[in-house]
Each structure stands twice: as C-alpha cells, then as structure tokens.
Amino acid sequence: MNMTENHGAVGKYLEALDHELRKVPPARREAVVADLAEHIDEARERGRSDDQIIAGLGPVQAIAAEVQADFADGAVEMEQRAKRKVLGFIALAAGVLAAVVDTWIYPSLNVDEFWPDWLHSSAINYDASTRFGAGLMLLFLLPGLMVAAGSMMKSPAARICRTVAAVIVTALPFVIGFNLGVFYLPLIVAAWMIVGVSYPRQQRAQGRRHLPLRMTAGLAAGVPAAALLAGLATGTVETGVLGITVLAVLVLAAVGAILGLRAAYWVLAACGALLLVASVFDMGMLVLGFWIAGTIYFFAGLAGLLRLQPAQKA
Amino acid sequence: MEEQGEKIATNIRKGVLEYCVLALLAQGDKYGLELADELVERNLTASEGSLYPLLARMKTADLVTTRWEESDTGRRRKYYAMTDRGASHLRQFDAVWNEISGQVGELLGRRHEHD
C-alpha cells in the first residue's frame, strides 16, 4: 500500500474517501481506505489506467454511505449500553442513599406522627429497626442491586428482566407502605429509564426534539423560581444573597432547559443530587420534600443529559 | 426504459450481492480484486467500491475471514475465505432463492401466456 505513489486522480480519490469517512471510527476508516488502495495497486498491475479504475470503483460518497450505514446500528447499541451503565450506577447509588436515609435517619423523625391516616404506611416496627438496622438496609440495597444488575445484562432476555425489576421496585412501596416506600422513588425512576433506553427510539422531526422533556424540565426549575420570586416580592422570604442566587440559578436553569442547553441540565442534575444528599443531614420533616424535589430535579436533569446529544443542541 | 431497467437491477443486486460473494468464495479463497472482477464480469455489481464495505461487514458478522499472503510481485494481498457460518448462510440463501425465482418465473410465465 504505497500511498506515496498515489498522486493525481487516485490520490485525490483516496483523500476524498478518507474525508467522507471522518465520522467513522479510525480503525474502520483506515481499513476501508487500505482495502481500496490495495484494489487500485492490483488493478494498476494489470495495466488498467487510473481513470478506468476510479470509474469502476464508483463515487466515494456511495462507498462512505455503505460504511456509515452499517456502523450506525452498532453505534446506537453502544450508546444505549453506555447510558444503561450510567443509570445502573445511579440505581445502585439511589439504593444505598435510600437505605442510609430511611433506616438510620427516618425513624428518629417521628414522621408517623404527621403521616396522614389515609395513606398506606409501613407495618415495619422501628423498634426492630434499631435492633436489625443493618438488616433493614437490605430492603433498599437489594432492589438497588437488582436494578443495577439488570442494566448490565447483555442476554436477549435482558429487556424482560429489566422490566420485571422495574415492576418489582414500583410495587414495593405499595407492599411495605408509602412512608418507607417514598424513598424508593429515585430507584423506581432509574429502573424505568433503564427500561426506556432498552428500546430503539424513533428520531423526532428537527426543531421539535424532546419538547415534552424540555418543557417538564423547564417547569421543574421555573415553578419554584416563580414561587421564590413571589416570596421575595411580597417579603415572605427575606431578600438576601442566598435568595437572589437561588432565584438566578433557577431562572437560568429553566430558560436553559427549555432551550435545550446541556449546561442547564447539568445544573438541574447537580441541584437534584445536592437535595437528595441533603436529606441525609436534614432532620426535620423537610426530608420528604427534599427527597421528592431532589428526585424530580436530578432525573429531569439526567434525562436531558442522556437524551440531548451534544451534536444536536436544539 | 434503459434507466428503469438499471434501477430494477440495482435494487435486486443489492439484496443478493452478499450471497454472490459467498458463492464465489465457495469455489475457493479470493482476494479483493479477484472478487470485484468476477462480479463485474457477471454484471452483478455496478460499483466495485461498495464491495469493500460489504466485505468488512461480512467479516464482522463472521461470514468470512481474512489472511495475508504474498503475491508473485512480493506485495501483500488480503485473501478472503468463507467461514462455516458463511457456508450455512449460503445454503439457506440457496433454498430461499430457488423458491423465489421459481415462483417469480412461474408468475411471469403465466403473464406471458395471457399476452
């Protein structure tokens, strides 16, 4: 493969092909160009003219299209696998965090005192939890592990396993009661997102990409921003550096989320993670609010980061 | 009319090219240009260039393997050989092709009778 010999028309042809293949992984790109270079060398040895050879090979665009076509399917699968891996780790983290918050902190809150009677609550006795605290953690750790394991599976039955895992974690709050079950929320969302990225998604029309997602994320950041603004305006909330900063961050995140900017979704996910982790330190009844708001923010941000590809900023 | 005929041929070739390559390799191992020449000679491909992406795909799918061999002039040649999997695909294609070409031939024959 003496590429140095390939001046003139042949050199230009191979260069043009190489350029057309710029989005294909380097290994494949080099292999195809090398194959064609070999073809050209062999054909030259048989006394064919360069123009004849090039005419026989056909347009470089057609060759590149062939390569890209069969690479595209594999790329989608690779991308989905990477997304599932991220979600699997998040599911595991959600299980660990829920176990910590729920088993060690929650019993000291006496949430049961203000828990509404009409909402199914846990039959688990917290006296038992002080004795079997670590064992009770398994209630959250095991479902987290189950969802994470499903996300890593590769067999054809993986989709079914993931769906079953999602159904099981969704059913858990109904079984053990919502006062404990609310802590399954992040795990449930992660489990269903894993199911979601197991199926091929149809491309949406340009310009209207992910509109429901962007609107939901915008609302998640925008509604508290509006509430905070009203609070600041009426003096219910004290005007301070913190209030203004939070307001600015929320407004920017809301606008950015609606516009589909990745940075805005990073902010949302970070705020959500912060709120979820803050649940560990907050000892008041706010823990439930922190937990639910954190879940919404985190997954709204995460969904944006996973769905919106860098190349197609809306 | 000529243009329409070319269009039809392109569409049909697209579906069978992979199996034509396997059928050629069933006769013996071949290098790229050999395959290209035989396909062009039989009018089974219009652009030899697209043969190489196809061969790469078939290699990934474990239908063919490649090995390097030296030519008489001392240059390295990439030879293609059919795998067992490739042979099994070719047998399946043989059966399907017989069925389809038989049925299509019969339909076309019947149409001629009505003319």
Domain boundaries, chain A: 3-58, 82-202, 209-314
What is the rounded CA–CA span in Å between residue A169 and residue A144?
Answer: 9
More confident residue, A285 or A225: A225
> Per-residue confidence at B38, pLDDT binned at 50, 70, 90?
very high
CB A310 within 8 A of CB A265: no
What residues form DSSP beta bridges with A236?
Answer: none
> Per-residue confidence at A1, pLDDT binned at 50, 70, 90?
very low
Residues of A in contact with B48 (CB under 8 A): 39, 56-58
Beta carbons within 10 angstroms of residue B14's beta carbon = 12
What is the rounded CA–CA span in Å between residue A166 and residue B16?
Answer: 43
> Per-residue confidence at A122, pLDDT binned at 50, 70, 90?
low
Tell me the pairing of strands B64-70 and B76-82. antiparallel
Nearest CB neighbour to A70, from listed B46, B47, B57: B57
**CB-based contact B47 A36, cutoff 8 Å:** no
Residue A119 pLDDT greater than 70, yes or no: no
pLDDT of residue A118: 60
**CB-based contact A67 B33, cutoff 8 Å:** no
What is the rounded CA–CA span in Å between residue A252 and residue A225?
Answer: 10
Q: Which of the residues A40, A42, A48 would you substitute to probe the B interface, choosing the one with the greatest number of B C-beta atoms within 10 Å? A: A42
- The whole-chain average pLDDT of chain A stands at 78
Would you list which residues of chain A are within 8 Å, Cβ to Cβ, of chain B? 28, 31-32, 35-36, 38-39, 41-43, 45-46, 56-60, 62-63, 66-67, 70
**What kind and span of H or E run contains B68?**
strand B64-70
CATH number at residue B11: 1.10.10.10
Structure-token match 């439930």, residue found: A288
Question: How far, CA to CA in Å, does A41 sit from each of A246, B33, B75?
Answer: 67, 10, 9
What is the rounded CA–CA span in Å between residue A120 and residue A15?
Answer: 69
Residues of A in contact with B53 (CB under 8 A): 32, 63, 66-67, 70
**CB-based contact B33 A62, cutoff 8 Å:** no
Residues of B in contact with A14 (CB under 8 A): none
**CB-based contact B47 A67, cutoff 8 Å:** no
Residue A41 pLDDT greater than 70, yes or no: yes
Can you give the C-alpha Rg of chain B in angstroms? Answer: 17
The single-letter DSSP state of residue A284 is S
Please give the torsion angle defined by the CA atoms of residues A302, A264, A77 and B54, in that order, rounded to the nearest 10 degrees: 180
Distance in angstroms between the alpha carbons of the first and the last residue of chain B: 20
Nearest to A300 by CA among A239, A236, A257, A244: A257
For residue B92, give its domain range: 2-114
What is the rounded CA–CA span in Å between residue A286 and residue A50?
Answer: 77
Residue A5 pLDDT greater than 70, yes or no: no
Can you give the C-alpha Rg of chain A in angstroms? Answer: 27
Residue A87 pLDDT greater than 60, yes or no: yes
Residues of A in contact with B57 (CB under 8 A): 70
**Domains contained in chain B, number:** 1
Beta carbons within 10 angstroms of residue A132's beta carbon = 14
Q: Which residues contact A285 (CB under 8 A, 6 or more apart)?
A: A109, A111, A114
**Residue A103 amino acid letter:** T
Residues of B in contact with A39 (CB under 8 A): 32-33, 36, 48, 52
Helix, strand, coil shares, percent, chain A, to 5:
80, 0, 20
DSSP-derived 3-state class of residue A182: helix
pLDDT of residue A131: 52
pLDDT of residue A105: 62
Nearest to B47 by CA among A93, A150, A54, A180: A54
DSSP-derived 3-state class of residue B58: helix
Q: Which residues contact B30 (CB under 8 A, 6 or more apart)?
A: B24, B38, B79, B80
More confident residue, A111 or B88: B88
pLDDT of residue B111: 66
Span A141-186, pLDDT tens digits: 888 999 998 888 877 788 888 999 999 999 988 887 777 778 888 9
Span A289-298, pLDDT tens digits: 788 888 888 9
pLDDT of residue A121: 57
CB A237 within 8 A of CB A189: no
